[in-house]
A and B are shown apart, each in its own frame.
Chain A
């Protein structure tokens, strides 16, 4: 009897445990997602979520974030949209929008889009929506943008490429913009050149691929530029953006390994531009280490210019100590330009202390170019002291043209006695209108 008693108690306890701690659940009515009932949430094939499962040796953020699939009815969508528009708290607005994104499907996308239709197309939410739509609906999301005024094709393609790069790229490669009437609004009514549109769409794809595989994105750009399309250099910036999210040091190392030389230059320059804003000492260290490399020119230039904003004399001293090369020349040019803008007298005084050579020529060239707008005669005088013939001629043309615009008679007098070649004199005396 005792054994039956014990088992009886265990059976009853087991019933209670099942009821309290492990209930099976069912979908309820969808009514108000605004704070009461509403959207059905289904637990998907998700990882354990934080606060419950502790893992030794590192945390996966994905495991901490809600992974449930949200199913939204039309009423839910409209209610969330209303909450997004009317909630006072920016946190409430954000979470309502996040819920819309979580429940976004190919079927309900248009209704969700209606909820954000009044938003600026440049806003983060607008872009994120189209990204999310692209990720779930691919070509359908991308092609929707062909008929709209807003810039929504690019983020949709980015989203698609982030979810399925192969499919997105295959679609793009087969795209015949000129002969597809879906693009008439963009090409014929808005007169966007075919190549510009194609590059714009490619930019979206690159951005999406770069989010998870910057190396692959850089590879695509390498094919693009080696095929003669220079737009790839501009697109490199979005790849660098993705890499920079992991920190500037890692980005610098990554940029140095980009196979194509010109793309490598762009990548390194872009990283340097960000690095100087956040890790200035690291930027100087990096620039010093790459100054002797051709692709280090942009790095040195960015760092030199940034340094010159705080300490122009210090910047010139640092640049003067670097090995000769494109980077040093560019850096000196940008630093001297900055200095001249702020204090032309001090900049000129410093030039007087420089030894003749390529560094001085770079400095004088920048000084003359910057000064020409206000004091063309002084700019001409300085340009005449440059050692390198080619550089001197270019600087004299620039300063001389500025002189001609301000005082043609004076410029004529000077040119007549300058000894400059005739074609150079003609260029000086027939300046183009300043933009």
Chain B
């Protein structure tokens, strides 16, 4: 009897030992922080660094984070440590993780709105964004979140992020929601959701956009561009060229909007590189002009320096055209002088009249004096001074 008990106890110890051995061999070395050990008395779940979205081809795009499996305390009571890559790898197993239920989502939304601590609010909303990218975020979860956000005064920024993330990660649900959105919120919802949709599912976004009535298209076009640019600038450019009727002489606005989005998303240098590679034609001119207008409003000295390095050319004319458009509101006189540098006669005169109007509002006498030597026909003064 005693021998049996002894045998069983011995085997029990062996079993425990093999468990520990398996844990140690398969795992990693536990880090000691500052010579101290930290114990964790509860199971800890850590989320990863970024979200994971899936594109139309089923390909994952790196981004945010998902919930991962819980980690138990190590043998010495030390907190488990993972690298971010390991966490991201864990997050790809999110299908195994339990989705947040209605109560949990509600609690998170309320925390993200009501907590007095901005860091706590941020963390709570981040958790929702991560859940949205988890791959198992459902329409029901989305409606739960939206309902709580609506009834508790979520901020505009939270709506923008939520709808963007929804469009990017759950396109079918986000598009289906269009039928449930009240008319007065439709424009706002599309403005938020469309760039997210376009960033991961550009084809669906373009199809949705083309189905909108013209007025609404005008309101959300730049948002579509924003998302398409996020996805791929070349594809966004192709869409631009395929959708704009260049035979209409004054149809500059779409490319102007796109160029401004390119500057906003990628910076002025990238925007200029992109504009320089566009095929010759009115759209290229619009892009160049818009890029320089944007640059002039942010860093006029740099824009001037760039123009001065350019050889006389159509591109230089467009650059000056855009530059003076931005400058005229602040310094009509300088803008008027620069407008005179445009080599193309038609563009020059149009620009001079346009900036001359601003100049006239700022200083009638100086504008009149400038006009005398501007080279403009006498009849132009009536348009400047009206």
Residues A37 and B107 in contact, CB atoms below 8 Å apart: no
Residues B7 and A91 in contact, CB atoms below 8 Å apart: no
CB < 8 Å neighbour of B161 from A45, A49, A90, A135: A90
Report A-chain residues with C-beta under 8 Å of the C-beta of B230: 88-89
B307 CB within 8 Å of chain A: no
CB < 8 Å neighbour of B26 from A18, A124, A245: A18
**In whole angstroms, how far apart are the Cα atoms of A65 and B107 in the complex?**
11
CB < 8 Å neighbour of B84 from A38, A58, A86: A38
Residues B129 and A65 in contact, CB atoms below 8 Å apart: no
A211 CB within 8 Å of chain B: yes
CB < 8 Å neighbour of A28 from B8, B28, B30, B129: B28
Residues A23 and B28 in contact, CB atoms below 8 Å apart: yes
Residues A101 and B44 in contact, CB atoms below 8 Å apart: no
In angstroms, how far is the closest chain B Cβ from the Cβ of A247? 8
Report B-chain residues with C-beta under 8 Å of the C-beta of A3: 4, 7-8, 11
A228 CB within 8 Å of chain B: no
Report A-chain residues with C-beta under 8 Å of the C-beta of B84: 33, 36-41
A 84-103 binary contact with B (CB < 8 Å = 1; else 0) = 00101111101110110100
Scan residues 1-40 of chain B and give those whose CB is less than 8 A from a CB of chain A. Answer: 4, 7-8, 11, 14-16, 18-31, 33, 38-40
**In whole angstroms, how far apart are the Cα atoms of A17 and B127 in the complex?**
30
B74 CB within 8 Å of chain A: yes
Scan residues 120-136 of chain A and give those whose CB is less than 8 A from a CB of chain B. Answer: 124, 127-128, 131-132, 135
Scan residues 13-35 of chain A and give those whose CB is less than 8 A from a CB of chain B. Answer: 14-20, 22-30, 33-35
Residue of B nearest to A23 (CB): B27
Total interface residues on A, CB under 8 Å, equals 82
**In whole angstroms, how far apart are the Cα atoms of A4 and B80 in the complex?**
35
A419 CB within 8 Å of chain B: no
A46-B44, A48-B70 known; A124 vs B157 contact (CB < 8 Å): yes
A342 CB within 8 Å of chain B: no
CB < 8 Å neighbour of B100 from A18, A38, A42, A51: A51
A7-B11, A98-B123 known; A14 vs B19 contact (CB < 8 Å): yes
Residue of A nearest to B192 (CB): A90
Report B-chain residues with C-beta under 8 Å of the C-beta of A37: 83-85
Residues A64 and B100 in contact, CB atoms below 8 Å apart: yes
CB < 8 Å neighbour of A24 from B27, B120, B157: B27
In angstroms, how far is the closest chain B Cβ from the Cβ of A62? 8
B103 CB within 8 Å of chain A: yes
User: Which of A42, A96, A278 is most buried by chain B, counting CB atoms within 10 A of its CB?
Assistant: A42
CB < 8 Å neighbour of B116 from A34, A67, A132, A211: A211
B326 CB within 8 Å of chain A: no
Question: Looking at chain B's contact residues, is the secondary structure mostly helix, strand, loop, or mixed?
Answer: helix
A185 CB within 8 Å of chain B: no
Scan residues 158-202 of chain B and give those whose CB is less than 8 A from a CB of chain A. Answer: 160-161, 164-165, 168, 196, 199
User: Which of B22, B51, B80, B113 is most buried by chain A, counting CB atoms within 10 A of its CB?
Assistant: B22
B118 CB within 8 Å of chain A: yes
Residues A65 and B41 in contact, CB atoms below 8 Å apart: no
In angstroms, how far is the closest chain B Cβ from the Cβ of A48? 5
**In whole angstroms, how far apart are the Cα atoms of A16 and B20 in the complex?**
10
B 59-86 binary contact with A (CB < 8 Å = 1; else 0) = 0001111010011101100011111111
In angstroms, how far is the closest chain A Cβ from the Cβ of B220? 16
Residue of B nearest to A59 (CB): B107
Residues A91 and B51 in contact, CB atoms below 8 Å apart: yes
B97 CB within 8 Å of chain A: yes
Residues A43 and B164 in contact, CB atoms below 8 Å apart: no
**In whole angstroms, how far apart are the Cα atoms of A66 and B82 in the complex?**
14
Report B-chain residues with C-beta under 8 Å of the C-beta of A18: 18-24, 26
A182 CB within 8 Å of chain B: no
Residue of B nearest to A95 (CB): B64
Total interface residues on B, CB under 8 Å, equals 99
B45 CB within 8 Å of chain A: yes
Scan residues 112-133 of chain B and give those whose CB is less than 8 A from a CB of chain A. Answer: 113-120, 122-124, 126-127, 129-130, 133
Residues B15 and A10 in contact, CB atoms below 8 Å apart: yes
Residue of B nearest to A29 (CB): B83
Residues B119 and A41 in contact, CB atoms below 8 Å apart: no
Scan residues 372-387 of chain A and give those whose CB is less than 8 A from a CB of chain B. Answer: none
**In whole angstroms, how far apart are the Cα atoms of A99 and B39 in the complex?**
23
Residues A66 and B114 in contact, CB atoms below 8 Å apart: no
Residues B124 and A49 in contact, CB atoms below 8 Å apart: no
B229 CB within 8 Å of chain A: yes
**In whole angstroms, how far apart are the Cα atoms of A37 and B48 in the complex?**
11
In angstroms, how far is the closest chain A Cβ from the Cβ of B184? 16
B245 CB within 8 Å of chain A: no
In angstroms, how far is the closest chain A Cβ from the Cβ of B332? 28
Report B-chain residues with C-beta under 8 Å of the C-beta of A101: 119, 122
CB < 8 Å neighbour of A65 from B27, B123, B265: B123
Residues A91 and B165 in contact, CB atoms below 8 Å apart: yes
Report A-chain residues with C-beta under 8 Å of the C-beta of B98: 50-52
**In whole angstroms, how far apart are the Cα atoms of A214 and B107 in the complex?**
21
Residues A61 and B124 in contact, CB atoms below 8 Å apart: yes
A345 CB within 8 Å of chain B: no
A 53-83 binary contact with B (CB < 8 Å = 1; else 0) = 1100011111011111000000000000000
In angstroms, how far is the closest chain B Cβ from the Cβ of A344? 31
Report B-chain residues with C-beta under 8 Å of the C-beta of A48: 42-45, 70
CB < 8 Å neighbour of A16 from B22, B29, B45, B47: B22
CB < 8 Å neighbour of B23 from A22, A64, A88: A22
Q: What are 22 pairs between A and B in contact, CB < 8 Å?
A: A3-B7, A14-B15, A16-B22, A18-B21, A22-B72, A23-B23, A25-B80, A28-B86, A36-B84, A40-B82, A43-B44, A52-B70, A59-B106, A59-B107, A64-B124, A65-B111, A66-B45, A68-B46, A88-B199, A89-B199, A90-B160, A95-B64
Closest 5 interchain pairs by CB?
A26-B28, A88-B230, A211-B116, A18-B22, A23-B27
16 more CB-based (< 8 A) A-B contacts, given A25-B86, A33-B49: A3-B11, A15-B19, A25-B82, A27-B83, A36-B85, A39-B49, A39-B84, A44-B40, A45-B38, A45-B39, A50-B67, A50-B104, A50-B127, A68-B46, A89-B196, A91-B133
